[in-house]
Amino acid sequence: MRPILLSGHERALTQIKYNRDGDLIFSVSKDQQICVWFAHNGERLGTYHGHVGAIWTVDVDPTSTIIASGSADNTIRLWDIKSGKCLKTWEFPTAVKRVEFNEDGTKLLGVTEKRMGHLGTIVVLDIKVDVDAEQTDEKELTIVCDESKATVAGWSYLSKYIIAGHEDGSVSQYDGKTGDLIYNIPIHELNMAITDLQWSPDRTYFITASKDKTSKLITASELEVLKTYIADTPLNSATITTKKDFVVLGGGQAAMDVTRTSARQGKFEARFYHKIFEDEIGRVRGHFGPLNTVAADPTGKGYASGGEDGYVRVHQFDKGYFDFMYEVERERQNRLA
């Protein structure tokens, strides 16, 4: 599994997203650039210019028509993928830490930072997935997080719930239409921030990553913890692979937390766990800083990781990956065949 090294960013990566077809990779970093790359060869297709602050987050709509990005310049911007044109800018009082489209791309949520007297919020915007259409200025919904600020959030299946991960380690479920809080459950260790939340393809369950060195698989409807993956380092990101029942976790000791940072010390590896059995299966090394984000190709062919070191590493899985199977899985496959 020889990775493609994408060295287009000058500063730490913050998020990577594949489009639905798995042929494009969008990456954002603190260097104020959004890059789009061809997944199969790592060629850069282009960049999106306009943000004047570190970009924290990016998401692409399901038809690969538009992308949304959130930045420390307190804006969410909408871009035409093809032309690179900025279609719309929404301003907020604080930085935007996370954006996500719902399953049909008609709604966008944004998580805003708690700062300067403003509480953290989750806002919902109505989106027309059309590069020529006029986008509304109005926020459809604003959820204020007065307990502990939300760090990440996402849409469940049918856009029924908004699920948010909080700085205090808890997970909330809000009604997707009214924004009413349904549950708030302490999931991770108290005051260990949830750093990532990514969905299964059908958005019925999701995976969280936390500074408490664990990652958990949780149902969207009941917030029931299905699985727990234990790592030996604070986690920044976690993703669910398709085709194979794995999850990929990324993290590593932040440089400020260790006196002597060596590759060995930092644990800067992507870790593969079996989604169902919770066993660690393997690690992929290569980054020389903590992994800030990992993303799985929705078509199951590969994954990409972005590090504090400013590199994106795109990996295409090889035959061994697809052949690997637990005895019980093989048993079942043979039975079905």
Residues that bind another protein (CB under 8 A): 20, 62-63, 65, 103-105, 129, 157-158, 160, 202, 204-205, 219, 226, 232, 245, 258, 260, 264-265, 276-277, 326-329, 331-332
Do the beta carbons of residue 110 and residue 92 sit within 8 Å? yes
For another protein, the closer CB: 17 or 149: 17
For another protein, the closer CB: 144 or 276: 276
Distances (CA, A) of 163 to 143, 186, 189, 316: 12, 13, 18, 30
Q: Taking Cα atoms as reference points, which of 117, 125, 130, 134 lies closest to residue 99?
A: 125
- Give dist(CA 226, CA 326) in Å, integer: 19
Q: Residue 171 burial (CB < 10 Å; 0-12/13-18/19+)?
A: buried
For another protein, the closer CB: 49 or 85: 85
Nearest distance from C-beta of residue 55 to another protein, angstroms: 26
For another protein, the closer CB: 183 or 277: 277
For another protein, the closer CB: 323 or 327: 327
Nearest distance from C-beta of residue 47 to another protein, angstroms: 22
Nearest distance from C-beta of residue 84 to another protein, angstroms: 18
Q: How far is CA 173 from the centre of its chain?
A: 18
Q: What are phi and psi of 204, to 5 degrees?
A: -95, -20
Q: How far is CA 78 from the centre of its chain?
A: 18
For another protein, the closer CB: 10 or 257: 257
Nearest distance from C-beta of residue 80 to another protein, angstroms: 14
- Give dist(CA 186, CA 230) in Å, integer: 17
- Give dist(CA 308, CA 287) in Å, integer: 8
Do the beta carbons of residue 187 and residue 159 sit within 8 Å? no
- Give dist(CA 35, CA 24) in Å, integer: 10
- Give dist(CA 200, CA 221) in Å, integer: 13
Tokens of 83: 């032309």
For another protein, the closer CB: 97 or 271: 271
Do the beta carbons of residue 210 and residue 195 sit within 8 Å? yes
User: Residue 205: beta bridge partners?
Assistant: 219
For another protein, the closer CB: 10 or 224: 224
